[in-house]
Structure 1
Amino acid sequence: MQSIFYDRARDVNHALELARQPGAKYIGGGTNLLDLYKSGIEKPVRLIDVSRLALADIDELPDGGLRIGAMASNTAAANHPLVRQRYRLLSEALLNGASAQLRNMATIGGNLLQRTRCYYFTDPAFPHCNKRDPGSGCDAIDGHNRIHAILGASPHCIATNPSDMSVALVALDAVIHLQGPDGARQLPVAEFHRLPEDRPQDDTVIRPGELITAVELPPTPFSRHAHYLKVRDRASYAFALVSVAAAVDVDGDTIRDLRIVLGGVAHKPWRALGAERRLRGQSLGALTDDVLGKVGADAVAGAQPHAHNAFKVELAQRAVARALRIATGSQATGEMGGMA
């Protein structure tokens, strides 16, 4: 059996020092890493426990924003009064993201670092996975690919990002704070996850030895009109087939600005910029079924479904329309209103 060593970091600098050792991995709640370790997918030589670092606080910032420490649990973040009051979209996404038991253990930083979802990746019985063994191929492309990506995939990987929280964070223009061997840096959540291209083994742009220390939420105009919609195979804990974070800034009757971000359809949270452009500056009264249908089509423009997931194209279109109705209180009716 492969030996594994354990160290508990005293502070951030100690964690960074320990991470210089070959085969070192940070561990917080462990809800993803330990599963992958037991399956033989992850093979750390040394685990660096960062769960007790002083990074669990949730603090209001002078400008009205919010800083959430990377070690804050998903439960603590979802139920924090300021998150529920000002960033309801994030609270909804976190509460939809997992069972209560997992939310109690999972951390904000760990949630961001979840490996992409694919049963061909998580089961070593399948021999061809470019994410697990670069250059070996992708069994999902010609296999059972019902849960896989329809947007942004590549000939090397069609896995999807499993995080509900990250979808909401992109819609809220959140920023990640990182500390690494080369110092501190900040990065928009929208730029943290990457598309597979020819390097599907790299889910994010995090650098070797870097540690997520916090997520910062700027003051938002989206507190009143926002909704996170998750469509899944069962009502209990399950990954999203399609999810939508819809956030709308309404000035009187006018849509001044908005964010539409999809989950479950790509290797990263997918911001639907074309759909946003169609609605920006429009009146709420313009949200007819016909317009919402076009917005949904814009959101999945360029989709490339596979043998078993073509249903996701229409599902995503309907989910976008429904999320926008709920976020804005629109009462549009008709064929597009029939989504369960």
Structure 2
Amino acid sequence: MHAFHYDRAADIAQALRLGAQPGAKYIGGGTNLLDLYKSGIERPLRLVDVSRLPLAGIDVLPDGGLRIGAMASNTAAANHPLVRERYPLLAEALLAGASTQLRNMATVGGNLLQRTRCYYFTDPALGPCNKRTPGAGCAARDGYNRIHAILGASETCIAVHPSDMAVALCALDAVIQVRSESGERAIGITDFHRLPGDAPQQDTTLAPGELIVAIDLPPSPFAAHSHYLKVRDRASYAFALVSVAAALDLQDGKVREARIALGGVAHKPWRAASAEAELRGQAPTDDVLRQAAQRALEGAQGFRHNAFKIELAQRAIVRTLRLAGASA
């Protein structure tokens, strides 16, 4: 058994001090980190328990947006009246993720930090993985890659980010608030997760010792017309082959503004900005939706077992936009 120190932080200042030590990891619900520890993928020297810090509140911001504390459970966030009323897209995505028991334990801060579910990353016996051991190689490229990336992949990694919540946050232009002993900073959701490049072991742009304290959602015009669609192999507790978070601001039958984000297709939630631009100013007819879906998948590259995901993603985008346009 790998030995480590365990500390339960009494306050944020103590958490930041302990989290700044070499080899330290923060732990909240532990639904992902403990699994990776048991399989030997994560080997922290110190676990800093932040589960009792006062970071679980959900509050209205001065600009009318919403701040969700990092320690709020996925269940609490999904069922909060203001989330359901103002950001139903986020509530849908949260409820699509995992099982009820896991949602009760998992925190929204931890959800952002989930590591990939690539077979080769989580099971060292299957082959080498650059994310697990930098420079070892990527067994997924020539192996069984049905669940892997079709956008933004690199020679070193074709894994995908597993979060449903993060896809909705990407469409909602969320901002992640973090703290460290050096101070505070805000990170836009599209800048929070990384594409693999030549350093796939780095999932996010967090600096060592930084602690997620909250997720800020700006005021949204999309509550009336949004939808989250998750395409998976089974309806209960499965990660997405493809997911789509779509939101429309409609006026006089035309799209004034659109948001589209994809999950299950890249190393990070994938914002389809070109597809959004295709929709602006247009009536959301089937032809327009199909053109937008094609734009969203420009540059996609399939591998031996996952090329089907390109057409699947296009079809999922069209369906999600139709449902978003018809909602409310």
TM-score category of the 2 structures, normalised to the smaller one:
over 0.9
What letter matches 1:326 in structure 2? Answer: L
Give the conservation status (yes or no) of the 8 Å contact 2:21–2:209: no
* Aligned partner of residue 196 in structure 2, secondary structure: coil
Match of 2:311 among 302, 314, 323: 314
Matched, 1:300 2:297: yes
Matched, 1:10 2:10: yes
Matched, 1:260 2:263: no
Give CA deviations for 1:261-290 in whole Å, capped at 9, x if unaligned. Answer: 000000001111111111111124xx12x3
Per-residue deviation, 1:126:
2.8
* Equivalent residue runs for 1:16-31 within 5 Å: 16-31=16-31
Q: 2 CA distance for matches of 1:144 and 1:275? A: 30
Q: 2 CA distance for matches of 1:85 and 1:255? A: 21
* Equivalent residue runs for 1:129-144 within 5 Å: 129-144=129-144
Q: Provide the residue aligned with 1:324 in structure 2.
A: 321
* Equivalent residue runs for 1:162-201 within 5 Å: 162-201=162-201
* Equivalent residue runs for 1:197-208 within 5 Å: 197-208=197-208
Q: 2 CA distance for matches of 1:2 and 1:86? A: 45
* Equivalent residue runs for 1:188-267 within 5 Å: 188-267=188-267
Q: 1 CA distance for matches of 2:254 and 2:150? A: 32
* Equivalent residue runs for 1:138-157 within 5 Å: 138-157=138-157
Per-residue deviation, 1:178:
0.2
Q: Provide the residue aligned with 1:83 in structure 2.
A: 83
Q: 2 CA distance for matches of 1:127 and 1:305? A: 21
What letter matches 1:134 in structure 2? Answer: P
* Aligned partner of residue 190 in structure 1, secondary structure: helix
Q: 1 CA distance for matches of 2:56 and 2:260? A: 29
Q: 1 CA distance for matches of 2:295 and 2:307? A: 16
Q: 1 CA distance for matches of 2:276 and 2:102? A: 33
Per-residue deviation, 1:20:
2.5
Per-residue deviation, 1:127:
3.7
Q: 2 CA distance for matches of 1:298 and 1:99? A: 33
Give CA deviations for 1:251-270 in whole Å, capped at 9, x if unaligned. Answer: 22121000010000000011
> Which shows bigger deviation, 55-64 or 228-237?
55-64
Per-residue deviation, 1:117:
2.3
* Aligned partner of residue 125 in structure 2, secondary structure: coil
* Percent sequence identity over aligned pairs: 70
* Aligned partner of residue 125 in structure 1, secondary structure: helix
What letter matches 1:68 in structure 2? Answer: I
Per-residue deviation, 1:153:
0.1
Q: 1 CA distance for matches of 2:54 and 2:160? A: 32
Q: 2 CA distance for matches of 1:5 and 1:47? A: 6
Per-residue deviation, 1:124:
1.5
Q: 1 CA distance for matches of 2:73 and 2:93? A: 14
Give the conservation status (yes or no) of the 8 Å contact 2:59–2:68: yes
Q: 2 CA distance for matches of 1:128 and 1:54? A: 41
Per-residue deviation, 1:23:
1.5
Moved over 4 A (4+): none
Q: 1 CA distance for matches of 2:91 and 2:44? A: 32
Give the conservation status (yes or no) of the 8 Å contact 2:279–2:289: no
* Aligned partner of residue 82 in structure 2, secondary structure: helix
What letter matches 2:296 in structure 1? Answer: A
TM-score by length of structure 2 reads 0.98
Per-residue deviation, 1:180:
1.0
Q: Provide the residue aligned with 1:40 in structure 2.
A: 40
Q: 2 CA distance for matches of 1:294 and 1:63? A: 35
* Aligned partner of residue 324 in structure 1, secondary structure: helix
Give CA deviations for 1:181-226 in whole Å, capped at 9, x if unaligned. Answer: 2210001111100100000000000000000000000100011000
Per-residue deviation, 1:2:
2.3
Q: How many residues align structurally?
A: 327
Per-residue deviation, 1:325:
0.2
Per-residue deviation, 1:22:
2.2
Q: Provide the residue aligned with 1:336 in structure 2.
A: none
Q: Provide the residue aligned with 1:116 in structure 2.
A: 116
Give the conservation status (yes or no) of the 8 Å contact 2:141–2:303: yes
Q: 1 CA distance for matches of 2:290 and 2:179? A: 43
Structure 1 gaps of 5+ residues are 331-340
Structure 2 gaps of 5+ residues are none
Per-residue deviation, 1:62:
2.3
Q: 1 CA distance for matches of 2:2 and 2:103? A: 30
What letter matches 1:318 in structure 2? Answer: R
* Aligned partner of residue 124 in structure 2, secondary structure: coil
Q: 1 CA distance for matches of 2:203 and 2:288? A: 35
Q: Provide the residue aligned with 1:125 in structure 2.
A: 125
